[in-house]
A and B are shown apart, each in its own frame.
Chain A
C-alpha cells in the first residue's frame, strides 16, 4: 500500500515540471502586455519600454524562466504586478471561500444526487425514473448564472431570507458562512447533482443486473439492504471518480458562481489576473490548480483500494 502511494507521488513530479514549462511559455506567447496597461493611456512608447524594463519583461525568456523556476523551488510564487502583494498571500486570502464553496456544493450535490440516482435505477423506466432524469437534463442544460439569478430573485429579493452576495468567513461564525454559501452551493450544485445522479443511475443499473443481486433478492434480503449494502457499494467506483473529478473542477472552475454571488475566491482571482495580464498570479494559480488536481487524483486512486480490495494487490 505504502509502495503504491509512493509510486503515485513520484509520478506527480514530471507532471508538475511539464505544467510549469507549459504555463510559462504559453503565457509568454499570449498577446497582451502588462507594461502597456501599467504605463497608462497617455504613455509614450519609451515609457512603456521603461515599465517593461522595470518588470524584467525585457530580459530573454530563458532568463525569465530561470528566475521563475528558482523562485518556485523556494516556494515563492512571485508578486502581483498590480497589487504589489505576494501571490501566495493573495491565494491564501481566496482559498477559504473557494474551498468552503467546493465542499458545500459537493455536499449538496452528493446528498441529493446519490439517493436520486439509486431511486431512478431501482424504479428504472417508470415515471419516477423519468422525473429524475428530466431533472438531470435540466441541471446540465440550465446555465449556472441563470439558476443563480433565479435563486437571488426568489430567496434574496422577494423573501429576503438569504444575502444576495458576499462571503462571510468562518472566523465570523458558521451561521454567517452557511447563510452566505447556501445559494451559491445550490446554484453550482445543480450541475453536479445532474452529473452524479446520472452516473449513479447508470452504475447502479449495471450492478442491479448482476447474478449476486438476483441471489440476494431470491434469499429474501430487504430492498433497502439490496440497494445500499450490495448494489451501491459495488457501484461506487465510477461515482467516487466523478465526485473526485468534480471536486478538482470546482476548485479551479467556479468563476461564474463566484462572480454572480460575489464570492472572493480563486476562480475570480484567476480571471481578473488573465484580463490584466498579471503573469505572476496566473502562473502561480495554474501551478497550484495543477497540484490540487494531481492530489485529488491521488486521493481517488487511494480510495479505490478501499472499495475494491483487488486493486491493493
Chain B
C-alpha cells in the first residue's frame, strides 16, 4: 500500500514537473544556425564590395526593388511608381508600414541619402548617377528621380543583388562619407543586428524584427513577402571547409552556404541533407591580362590564349563533379538571359599550341618572362593558376610564376609599372555569374582604358557598343547588343574566361524547410525550423 502510494506521489510529481517544463520548452527560441562563405567583418554594405557584407545587409536593410527567382525586378519598399512619357522622370511612392529598427518611419529623405551614398561606391550605381539630373524627396513617401537622358536600366539597377546592393539606411547614417564606415547599424529589414553579440571573425547574431511588415506577395528570390519564421539567426564562421561539413553532418549547423566541392559527395549521400542551386548560381573564372605591357598589349598575344586555354581542364581541377560543371563560352555567363557565344569559334575549337606560339611571335614575343601572380591561398585560383601555367608552358612560353597570398595579389594587380618593376602580366580571379550577366555590372568586360578594371583594356569603339546596351528598352534589343559585344570581345580579348561551375548550398532538410533558391546572397526569411 505504501509502495503504491509512493509510486502515485512520484507519478504526480513527474506530471507536475512536466507541466511546469512544458511552457518553457514551448518558449524556447527558434534559432537558425548558419555558416556563410565568409565571416561578417564589416558592417557597412556600401563601404566594401564583399558579398558577405551584402548578405549582412540583406538581413537588416530593405531595398526599393528586389529580383525575383527569374531575376526580374519587383517592387519591395516601393508601392507604386510612374515613368514620364519621355522616360526621363521616375516618381516612386513608398509602401505603408516601413519602419526602422529604432521605431522611426522610413521616409523618402532616407531613400535619397542612401541612394546617393550607394551611387558613390557601386559600379552600376555610378553609371546610373552618371545619367541622373536630380534625385529629390517630394514628400515623406514620394521621391523623384530625374534623368538627363532615358536610361533603360533604372529599375534593374535598383533591384540588383550580389555585391553593393542598394540598401536603404537612415538618413543619419547615409550622410556618412561613402569611404568611411557608418557608426550605427539600424535598418528597416526583417532582422535586427545584435551588436553586443558580434564577434568579428567568429559569430554574428540577428533577431527577428517584430515591427517588420512584409509584402503580401509570396516570396520569390529576393522579392515578395519577407516573412521571418525563426526568432534568431546565428552566423557562425567556420573557416575550415572540413569542419564546416562535419558540423552540418553532426547537426551543429542547419545551413552551409558554400560547401567545398570535394565534400559534396559526402553531403549528397546523407539523407538528412539537401543540396540546392539556382540556375544562375555559380562562379566564372577569369584570366586577366595586363594590356599595358608586352606581350598582352598586342591583340595577337591575347588571341593566342584562346588556342591555349581549355575549359574542361579547369573544371576537372576545380569542380570534378560533372553535375557542377558548365563548359561555357559566353562572356556574360551561361543559363542567363544574355548568354551568347557569338565569335567564340576559335575558343571552342581544338587547342593548337603551335598556332598559339606563332601568334605570340607575331605579337613580337621573344621568350621574355611572362609574370603570373599566383594566389596560393585561394580555393580555386590556386589550382586554376597551376593549370594555366601547364597550358602556357605547352606553347613554349617563358613564365615567371610568383607565389603570394591573395592579399598581395590585390595590392600588386593595381600596379601599372612593367612586370620587371613590380607589375604583372597575368592574374586569375573569378566573378559570380550574376555579376557577369550584365555588361553594366560585369566590371571585367569594360575596355574603358583608365576607367577599366585591372589590366586596363582599351578600345573606344567597343565601349560605344557596350554603352548602347544600357539604353535598350527591351530584352530582345539587349540580347542583340550582347551578341555584338561578344563578337567584339572575342576579337579584342579583354580577358579569357575559363568556364563556369556551380556552388550549391547545403542544408539539413530534416530540421529546416522553406529555403529560398537564389543565385547569390541567400535570404534567411521564410525558413522554418522544424
In the complex, the answer to whether B411 meets A38 with C-beta atoms within 8 Å is no
Binds A, one of B14-22, B242-250, B379-387: B242-250
Q: Does B465 contact A (CB under 8 A)?
A: no
> Cβ of A93: which chain B residues have Cβ within 8 Å of it?
199, 202
Can you give 7 contacting A-B residue pairs, CB < 8 Å?
A: A33-B411, A37-B410, A40-B50, A41-B443, A45-B450, A83-B42, A83-B43
- B431's nearest neighbour on chain A, judged by CB, is A41
Interface residues of B, dominant DSSP:
loop
Q: Does A50 contact B (CB under 8 A)?
A: yes
Cα–Cα distance between A118 and B234 once the two chains are bound (Å): 48
In the complex, the answer to whether B408 meets A31 with C-beta atoms within 8 Å is yes
Q: Does B419 contact A (CB under 8 A)?
A: no
Q: A51-B179, A85-B200, A272-B201 are in contact. Are A32 and B411 (CB under 8 A)?
A: yes
In the complex, the answer to whether B250 meets A160 with C-beta atoms within 8 Å is yes
> Cβ of B243: which chain A residues have Cβ within 8 Å of it?
152, 164-165, 259-262
B-side interface size class: 35 or more
Q: Name B residues whose Cβ lies closer than 8 Å to a Cβ of A.
A: 41-43, 47-50, 121-123, 163-164, 177, 179-181, 199-203, 236-240, 242-243, 246-247, 249-250, 252, 377, 404-408, 410-412, 414, 443, 450-451, 453
Q: Does A90 contact B (CB under 8 A)?
A: yes
Of the candidates B123, B164, B239, B412, the one whose C-beta lies within 8 Å of that of A259 is B239
- B121's nearest neighbour on chain A, judged by CB, is A40
Of the candidates A160, A166, A276, the one whose C-beta lies within 8 Å of that of B41 is A276
Q: A39-B179, A94-B199 are in contact. List 18 more A-B contacts (CB 8 A).
A: A32-B407, A32-B410, A40-B50, A40-B163, A41-B49, A41-B443, A83-B41, A90-B200, A152-B246, A156-B250, A157-B246, A157-B249, A160-B250, A165-B243, A260-B242, A264-B202, A264-B203, A268-B202
Q: Does A112 contact B (CB under 8 A)?
A: no
Residue in B123, B179, B250, B377 with the greatest tally of chain A CB atoms within 10 Å: B179
Among residues 147 to 174 in chain A, which have CB atoms less than 8 Å away from a CB atom of chain B? Answer: 149, 152-153, 156-157, 160, 163-166
- Say how far B240's CB is from chain A's closest CB, in angstroms: 5
Among residues 165 to 185 in chain A, which have CB atoms less than 8 Å away from a CB atom of chain B? Answer: 165-166
Cα–Cα distance between A211 and B453 once the two chains are bound (Å): 78
In the complex, the answer to whether A262 meets B200 with C-beta atoms within 8 Å is no
Of the candidates A44, A90, A262, the one whose C-beta lies within 8 Å of that of B238 is A262
> Cβ of A90: which chain B residues have Cβ within 8 Å of it?
200
In the complex, the answer to whether B406 meets A83 with C-beta atoms within 8 Å is no
Of the candidates B164, B247, B411, the one whose C-beta lies within 8 Å of that of A36 is B411
In the complex, the answer to whether B414 meets A50 with C-beta atoms within 8 Å is no
- Say how far A152's CB is from chain B's closest CB, in angstroms: 5
Of the candidates B49, B246, B414, the one whose C-beta lies within 8 Å of that of A45 is B414
Cα–Cα distance between A51 and B48 once the two chains are bound (Å): 11
> Cβ of B377: which chain A residues have Cβ within 8 Å of it?
275
Cα–Cα distance between A94 and B200 once the two chains are bound (Å): 10
In the complex, the answer to whether A163 meets B252 with C-beta atoms within 8 Å is yes
Of the candidates A47, A84, A264, A272, the one whose C-beta lies within 8 Å of that of B43 is A84
In the complex, the answer to whether B123 meets A149 with C-beta atoms within 8 Å is no
Q: Does A200 contact B (CB under 8 A)?
A: no
In the complex, the answer to whether A164 meets B252 with C-beta atoms within 8 Å is yes
User: Interface residues of A, CB < 8 Å — how many?
Assistant: 47
In the complex, the answer to whether A83 meets B443 with C-beta atoms within 8 Å is no
- Say how far B215's CB is from chain A's closest CB, in angstroms: 31
Q: Does A48 contact B (CB under 8 A)?
A: yes
In the complex, the answer to whether B236 meets A262 with C-beta atoms within 8 Å is yes
Q: Does A54 contact B (CB under 8 A)?
A: yes
Cα–Cα distance between A153 and B242 once the two chains are bound (Å): 11
- Say how far A273's CB is from chain B's closest CB, in angstroms: 9
Cα–Cα distance between A90 and B239 once the two chains are bound (Å): 18
Q: Does A108 contact B (CB under 8 A)?
A: no
- A53's nearest neighbour on chain B, judged by CB, is B179
Cα–Cα distance between A261 and B238 once the two chains are bound (Å): 9
Cα–Cα distance between A143 and B254 once the two chains are bound (Å): 30
In the complex, the answer to whether A260 meets B410 with C-beta atoms within 8 Å is no
- Say how far B290's CB is from chain A's closest CB, in angstroms: 14
- Say how far B372's CB is from chain A's closest CB, in angstroms: 16
> Cβ of A38: which chain B residues have Cβ within 8 Å of it?
47-48, 179
> Cβ of B250: which chain A residues have Cβ within 8 Å of it?
156-157, 160, 163-164
Among residues 217 to 262 in chain A, which have CB atoms less than 8 Å away from a CB atom of chain B? Answer: 259-262
> Cβ of B48: which chain A residues have Cβ within 8 Å of it?
38, 40, 82
Total cross-chain contacts (CB, 8 A): 122
In the complex, the answer to whether B252 meets A166 with C-beta atoms within 8 Å is yes
> Cβ of B179: which chain A residues have Cβ within 8 Å of it?
38-39, 47, 50-51, 54
- Say how far A122's CB is from chain B's closest CB, in angstroms: 40
- Say how far A280's CB is from chain B's closest CB, in angstroms: 13
- A278's nearest neighbour on chain B, judged by CB, is B41
Of the candidates A31, A37, A165, the one whose C-beta lies within 8 Å of that of B246 is A165
> Cβ of A82: which chain B residues have Cβ within 8 Å of it?
41-42, 48, 200
Cα–Cα distance between A90 and B202 once the two chains are bound (Å): 11
Q: A31-B412, A41-B443 are in contact. Are A269 and B240 (CB under 8 A)?
A: no
- Shortest 6 CB-CB distances between A and B: which pairs? A40-B49, A264-B202, A33-B411, A83-B200, A42-B123, A42-B443
Residue in A41, A83, A160 with the greatest tally of chain B CB atoms within 10 Å: A41
> Cβ of A94: which chain B residues have Cβ within 8 Å of it?
199
- B200's nearest neighbour on chain A, judged by CB, is A83
In the complex, the answer to whether A275 meets B414 with C-beta atoms within 8 Å is no
Cα–Cα distance between A38 and B181 once the two chains are bound (Å): 10
- A153's nearest neighbour on chain B, judged by CB, is B246
- Say how far A282's CB is from chain B's closest CB, in angstroms: 12
Among residues 47 to 64 in chain A, which have CB atoms less than 8 Å away from a CB atom of chain B? Answer: 47-48, 50-51, 54
- Say how far B127's CB is from chain A's closest CB, in angstroms: 10
- Say how far A58's CB is from chain B's closest CB, in angstroms: 13
> Cβ of B202: which chain A residues have Cβ within 8 Å of it?
93, 262, 264, 268
> Cβ of A166: which chain B residues have Cβ within 8 Å of it?
236, 252
- Say how far A85's CB is from chain B's closest CB, in angstroms: 6
Cα–Cα distance between A51 and B410 once the two chains are bound (Å): 15
In the complex, the answer to whether B252 meets A275 with C-beta atoms within 8 Å is no
> Cβ of A50: which chain B residues have Cβ within 8 Å of it?
179
> Cβ of A47: which chain B residues have Cβ within 8 Å of it?
179
Q: Does A277 contact B (CB under 8 A)?
A: yes
Q: Does A80 contact B (CB under 8 A)?
A: yes
- Say how far B25's CB is from chain A's closest CB, in angstroms: 19
> Cβ of A165: which chain B residues have Cβ within 8 Å of it?
238, 243, 246-247, 252
> Cβ of B163: which chain A residues have Cβ within 8 Å of it?
40
Cα–Cα distance between A40 and B164 once the two chains are bound (Å): 10
In the complex, the answer to whether B249 meets A275 with C-beta atoms within 8 Å is no
In the complex, the answer to whether A48 meets B180 with C-beta atoms within 8 Å is no
- Say how far A186's CB is from chain B's closest CB, in angstroms: 16
> Cβ of A153: which chain B residues have Cβ within 8 Å of it?
246
